[in-house]
Each structure stands twice: as C-alpha cells, then as structure tokens.
Amino acid sequence: MFDVVSSSKWPTGFLINPNAEPLDPKWLTEFSKIPAAAVSDCLGRNVGGLGLKPFHGTRPMLGSALTVRVRPGDNLMILKAMQMARPGDVLVIDGSADLTRAVFGGIMRAMALKAGIVGVVINGALRDLDEWQTGELPAYAIGGVHRGPSTDGGGEINVPISCAGMLVMPGDLMIGDGDGVVAASRSELPELLKRCHDLLAREQATLAAIEAGTLDPDRFDAILRAKGCPV
C-alpha cells in the first residue's frame, strides 16, 4: 500500500478541534417545548437521523453537539471527547454504522453522567443495555452488541460528521425524543423557532376542528381532484 502522508501537525486520521461556542440557554428553554417531529417538519422533512433507536426509554434529549468521528469499532477519540465535554453537551458519534463492536457502554455512561453530558447519539452500537434503561442519560444508537471496542484510534473531534444520514456540525442543537433525533444549525434557530410555533398552532387548530366535527370534509378530495382524479 502507498503511505499516506499528513500535511498538518496532526497525523493522518487524527484531529482535535476546539469546542464550539456554547449555545445561548434561551434556545434550550424554547426548544424544550417542541417535539422532534415538529422540528423535522419545519426543516423540510428530509433531515434527521434514520435508524436511531432510543435505548434509554422516553426521556427527551436537548443539548449542544460535540461531534466525534471514529474508526469503526474504536472508542479512543470518544474517551478524549468526554474529557473535553461541557455540561449540556450531546456526544454525537459517527461510527460508520458498524454493529460488530459497541463503542459505548456502562463505564463510559457513568463517565458521561459525571461530566454533565446530556445525551449520546451513536451511528453504531452500544452495550450494557440494561444500564441504559434507567433513563438517566438519553442514548440513541443503530443497535446494541456485547462485543467491546478497541482503543487505538484514529478519529476526529469537533468536525462535521454524518450520523445515521444526518449532517451534524459542532455546536448544532440536538433534539431527541421517542420519535428520533434531529440536528438544527444555530444560525437557523430564530427562524426555525417561529416556524415550529406556527406549525404547532395549526396542529392545535386541526385537533380542535376534529373534536368539534368541523374539519373540512372536502380537503382531501380537493387535493385528489387537483391531480386529475375523478372524485
């Protein structure tokens, strides 16, 4: 094989960037009232993680993304990222959807809780599943497996990653609940919040119309007729 030569001070396959600026706490307060599905709708219904399952129960997750990309089945850079984490961070890990080895388990869960980490999202596998069911630390992953990781590297911290089909930038707002996980860029939070409030208001109006029996009975026929259907 050809040798791959690094052109920076970091060896090839390793990189650690500084943490992103903390999110303004007001966004955590505001988005704590908004379901992940509503955020997904307001971002166009084509974003968010696919295949991520909640292993902790139903507790919602909300925090700032601390991103990690690792070699499949290895957790060295995840351990380093936990040393860098601030209270309120969500570890978002791109493990290439590898399910042959768990890159996060019970000991790391205890470390994460001690560091004030508020969630873990893994494009890969975790283990010690019984411990996660206490619900203290939200954890989303593609799957679980008993086989443990290597701790050799490489990997990168605080870089743009793809996690279960979801683009995540360092410092993104991470929203998770029983429906799954969505990432939102901090630059779009003001407009996104307005759209979410509008959507939830419309949903409440629709539910009220259903309850009152006043929902327009022709609304779906009108859509079909616009497509040329003879209804």
To the question of whether residue 71 is assigned a binding role by annotation, the answer is no
Residue 25 structure tokens: 């706490």
To the question of whether residue 108 is assigned a binding role by annotation, the answer is yes
Residue 174: which H helix or E strand, with range?
Answer: strand 173-177
At 226, the amino acid letter reads A
Residue 29 structure tokens: 């307060």
Nearest to 120 by CA among 74, 179, 163, 160: 163
At 191, the amino acid letter reads E
DSSP state at residue 187: G
Please give the backbone phi and psi of residue 150, each rounded to the nearest 5 degrees, phi first: -90, 165
To the question of whether residue 74 is assigned a binding role by annotation, the answer is no
To the question of whether residue 49 is assigned a binding role by annotation, the answer is no
To the question of whether residue 107 is assigned a binding role by annotation, the answer is yes
Q: Residue 65: beta bridge partners?
A: 90
Place of tokens 């166009």: 44
At 61, the amino acid letter reads M
Q: Which burial class, exposed, middle or buried, applies to 154 when counting CB atoms under 10 A from its CB (0-12, 13-18, 19+)?
A: middle
At 69, the amino acid letter reads R
d(CA 73, CA 153): 10
Place of tokens 């307060």: 29
To the question of whether residue 195 is assigned a binding role by annotation, the answer is no
Task: Tell me how crowded residue 212 is: count the other CB atoms within 10 A of its CB.
Answer: 8
Residues flagged as binding site for substrate = 105-108, 127
Residues flagged as binding site for Mg(2+) = 128
Residues flagged as binding site = 105-108, 127-128
